[in-house]
Amino acid sequence: MKAKASISRCLTIILLLLGGSLPSVMATPLRDGMAARMQACAVCHGSEGRATNQGYFPRIAGKPAGYLFNQLVNFRDGRRKNPTMAYLVDQMNDAYLQEIADYFSALDLPYPPPAPAPEPGPSLSKALARGEQLVRQGDAARGVPACSTCHGAAMTGVMPATPGLVGLPRDYILSQFGAWKNGMRHAAKPDCMGEVAERLSAEDVGAMATWLSLQRVPTDAKAVAFAPQASPLKCGGAGK
């Protein structure tokens, strides 16, 4: 319910900001430059696309341009389900979506401190240990590779189209795994993340999300040029 209310609020504010029909407005380049055109994105994604790690919406500043472009196309073409995003990009062509992706990718902005840790206890310690294990080592018995295999050793992403995972809100990570599991999110085939989501339990996803949300983002948080090792899974969107 909270996510639906946030989406409704975002759409209302964006309509007030831009006025009229969003597809017709956003399909036509404005005179004030890209930064001015992207002010509507700040309503949900924060100033200059740098959402905090304590909310629901993801940071988009500094993400690989290939990843951002893929997601905009996925929203437009129905592989990802989000009413606000789908309405915003419905009438945008690939060239304009690439321009948006390039703009946010080029933003080099500091990350905030990690989210406050919950109350310590045996259950939290166990969850954090399991989360770190999955991120750094994976689970061979379930056919789950380490997150770091594809997202980089420091989890800051890999060029050209694999996003970083550190600095993301816990609730956002949980919601995206839920979306893959229930068919609300897809990527270009073969959809490797869809496969991973099916192989993980809810407890494992929660452990990963908690561990990732508590990590401090490195000073140099840019995506690296190459993954530390070849992924054992084929990912349709990884090459862009």
User: Model pTM?
Assistant: 0.84
Residues 107, 63 contacting (CB under 8 angstroms)? no
Angle, CA 42 vertex, CA 40 and CA 46 arms, to 5°: 170
More confident site: 3 or 47:
47
Residues 8 and 86 in one domain: yes
Burial of 33 (0-12, 13-18, 19+ CB in 10 A): exposed
Task: Check pLDDT > 60 for residue 18.
Answer: no
Q: Note down the domain range covering 64.
A: 2-105
203 band by pLDDT with thresholds 50, 70 and 90: very high
Number of other residues whose CB lies within 10 A of the CB of residue 189 = 12
Domain contains 186: yes
Domain contains 218: no
Task: Check pLDDT > 70 for residue 239.
Answer: no
Residues 33 and 126 in one domain: no
Calculate mean pLDDT across residues 123-134: 96
Residues 66 and 140 in one domain: no
Domain contains 239: no
Looking at every residue in the chain, the average pLDDT score rounds to 86
pLDDT attached to residue 77 = 96
The CA–CA distances, whole Å, from 240 to 20, 97, 157, 188 equal 33, 13, 13, 10
pLDDT attached to residue 24 = 43
Domain contains 237: no
pLDDT attached to residue 44 = 92
Residues 152 and 190 in one domain: yes
Task: Check pLDDT > 70 for residue 3.
Answer: no
Domain contains 224: no
From 106-110, 125-129, 204-208, the region with the lowest mean pLDDT: 106-110
**Boundary-marking domain end, from 72, 105, 138:** 105
Residues 20 and 45 in one domain: yes
144 band by pLDDT with thresholds 50, 70 and 90: very high
In angstroms, the CA 33 to CA 94 distance is 18
